[in-house]
Structure 1
Amino acid sequence: MRVGLIVDSACDLPYEFRREHDLFVLPVTARIDQQTYIDEHDPVRTQEFYQSGLLQKGHHAETEAFSASQIHDLFMEKIVTEFDVAICETVTRSRSLIFDHATQAMNTVMANYRSVRSAAGVPGNFSMRVVDSKQIFAGQGLLAAHTLTLIAKKLSKNALRNEIERFTGNIYTCVIPRDLHYIRERARRRGDNSVSALVAFLGKALNITPVIFGQGSEGQPVAKTRSFDVAVEKVMNYAIGRIQAGLLTPYVSLSCGMSWTEIEELPGLNRLRDACEQHGVELLLSQMGITSSIYVGPGSLCLALGAEPHHFRDFQ
């Protein structure tokens, strides 16, 4: 049984990791200053966007999910003849229409795949499952990496689905936004009022950088710092402490909306690498994709790991 994993372009993972494991990336449409781009999480295109400055707040940028029809066509062309079972993990449905559109596409694919497989000379049935990851960015990447370990165990289709959905509740995510004004403006355009004007103003006026922490995409501020570097140190300390206490999957996912030179200069990164090496954990370090950067803002950071229930303050 050939099992394939599909993620969308909001999922942050190292390019080499995605290529090694043959992950299929469901694209997202990005519109910047009335120009349309297809974000397939290509590392070269992503680097060009960072260098061009198109992701800065002076530009009008937004993302849009592929339509159900577009996703249907991709699944029929790229997926149904390559795999017998396909798992599609999407960014949290509370922040995007990708889950809804992918689910609609799955239903039409399941009704029409047989003729495509027959024409390609592929025997047997095909099945799909669309999963709401309940995650964003690095959290999606962590779920994808864990899912690959489950696929390697050759679980039944139902057992695989149940294990994936259970694990989503064990993912903890830290986000450090570089610019609260950016987040507020992007949220306002989406009709999301979760970031207040007052918080945005204080963040700018007092140079406050928050650490947002929680399960999946439902995070709350757990620290307010006077600089981005101090916030990064807190997140690194948290991750190292949690690694030492034990994880539920041997991965830590870290994505950063900045150049690789800036990433390598992050305070505490080498300490995190050392902790991962000492405890047999793989650090999935990636440059935040175009979709992620448009959502949370360039210069931001997102870290995710899988663990038993705990609080951020337990590891400070």
Structure 2
Amino acid sequence: MGLAIDASCDLPQAFLAQHNIAVMPVIVKLDGSVFKDNRNQDEIDRFLHMELAGTHAAETEPCSVEDVQRMFLDKLVLEQDCVFCLTITATRSPIHENVLKASFAILKNYREVRERAGVPGPFLMRVVDTRNVFAGEGPAVFEATRLIAAGEAPPVIRERLGVIANHTYAYMLPRDLHHLRSRTRKRGDRSVSLFSAVVGTALDIKPLLRCFRGETGPVGKVRGFEHGAEMLFAYAVRRVRAGLMVPVMCVSYGGDLAELARLPGYDTLRQACEEAGVTLLEAPMSITGMVNVGEGAVTLGFAAEEHEPDF
């Protein structure tokens, strides 16, 4: 039984390797350069070194229906008997729809592929919308690894992942409001207005954005990025101490992770997770994520009972 994710899911490379998680890549084109966003650290480092995150004219090409079919029929159906494919929320990207469409052809054609290779038995594929983005995709993936390790049956896993998707919260603190507004407007999203971008930049006011059940929008504002990070991490500490539905806190940063560790309040979050037995997964933000929300942004994701943010 295995897992597949899209490249926008912010999880550490070591975690992906440990659990043999396949990554569906996104192609990013900007300023004459092409990047294969597949969570490879070398490619992320190349992107950061070229300092292209501020380029607003980037084009992203998510994994197509045909790409997904090839990935499964050439590899995954021969290695696994069941694969759960977890994607970024369908409200923000066509990836989920592409994977869903590809699954019909995969389930129709896998038998011949497996028979030719001498692999017996049926193959199952289940597509799960995490209803979240970036670090917010992580808790469902983490829970899937725990359930697989525990030997749970596919129907049990599928039902549980749906519950976790509906109780996962992701928060983001951006650095560059102009960049964020430019990219969101390109997608037809008006959640960051020009007025907010101009005033926010002039006064160093940053919005705290939340994604919950596929819906994104501001839930607070702070003066200064470092103060905002401190508030966000303090909120995460309170949620850890209140109890999480999945014992993991996922954090991603649009840059060198050493910079994340130096942000105010982060050490307190690390300590709170350790005391509560919660795994803290730190990952670089995907190239796709940095192109869309700007370099230097922080996102965090966790699953908890329904609540209102108390910033």
TM class by smaller structure: over 0.9
1:111 partnered with 2:112: no
1:29 partnered with 2:27: yes
- Residues 183-198 of structure 1: matches in 2 within 5 Å? 183-198=180-195
State the alpha-carbon separation in 2 of the partners of residues 254 and 207 from structure 1: 23
Tell me the amino acid that sits aligned with residue 202 of structure 2.
A
Equivalent residue in structure 2 for 1:235, among 208, 232, 236: 232
Q: Secondary structure at the match of 1:312?
A: coil
Q: Which has the higher mean CA deviation after the structures are superposed, 7-16 or 32-41?
A: 32-41
Deviations 1:223-265 (A, max 9, x none): 2211000100111111111111111111000001021331221
* Contact 2:132–2:211, Cα closer than 8 Å, also in 1: no
> Residue in 2 aligned with 1:201?
198
1:132 partnered with 2:159: no
Q: Which has the higher mean CA deviation after the structures are superposed, 96-105 or 183-192?
A: 183-192
State the alpha-carbon separation in 2 of the partners of residues 297 and 12 from structure 1: 15
Structure 1: 5+ residue stretches without partners:
none
State the alpha-carbon separation in 1 of the partners of residues 283 and 37 from structure 2: 16
Equivalent residue in structure 2 for 1:260, among 257, 262, 268: 257
1:161 partnered with 2:158: yes
> Residue in 2 aligned with 1:47?
45
1:308 partnered with 2:301: no
> Residue in 2 aligned with 1:66?
63
Give the C-alpha shift of residue 76 in structure 1. 0.6
State the alpha-carbon separation in 2 of the partners of residues 231 and 213 from structure 1: 14
> Residue in 2 aligned with 1:180?
177
> Residue in 2 aligned with 1:87?
84
* Contact 1:55–1:61, Cα closer than 8 Å, also in 2: no
State, as a whole percentage, how many aligned pairs show the same letter.
38
1:282 partnered with 2:296: no
> Residue in 2 aligned with 1:298?
295
> Residue in 2 aligned with 1:122?
119
State the alpha-carbon separation in 2 of the partners of residues 216 and 20 from structure 1: 28
Equivalent residue in structure 1 for 2:219, among 199, 219, 222: 222
Deviations 1:194-244 (A, max 9, x none): 322111121112211111235244243232211000100111111111111
Tell me the amino acid that sits aligned with residue 10 of structure 2.
D
State the alpha-carbon separation in 1 of the partners of residues 219 and 51 from structure 2: 30
Deviations 1:161-194 (A, max 9, x none): 1111111111111110111111111112222233
Deviations 1:59-111 (A, max 9, x none): 52232212211111111112101111111011111111111111111110111
State the alpha-carbon separation in 2 of the partners of residues 62 and 217 from structure 1: 23
Structure 2: 5+ residue stretches without partners:
none
Task: Give TM-score, length-normalised by structure 2.
Answer: 0.96
State the alpha-carbon separation in 2 of the partners of residues 241 and 233 from structure 1: 12
* Contact 1:136–1:216, Cα closer than 8 Å, also in 2: no
State the Cα RMSD in Å. Answer: 1.4
Tell me the amino acid that sits aligned with residue 64 of structure 1.
E
State the alpha-carbon separation in 1 of the partners of residues 53 and 75 from structure 2: 30
Equivalent residue in structure 2 for 1:18, among 16, 39, 64: 16
State the alpha-carbon separation in 2 of the partners of residues 74 and 310 from structure 1: 39
* Contact 2:90–2:214, Cα closer than 8 Å, also in 1: no
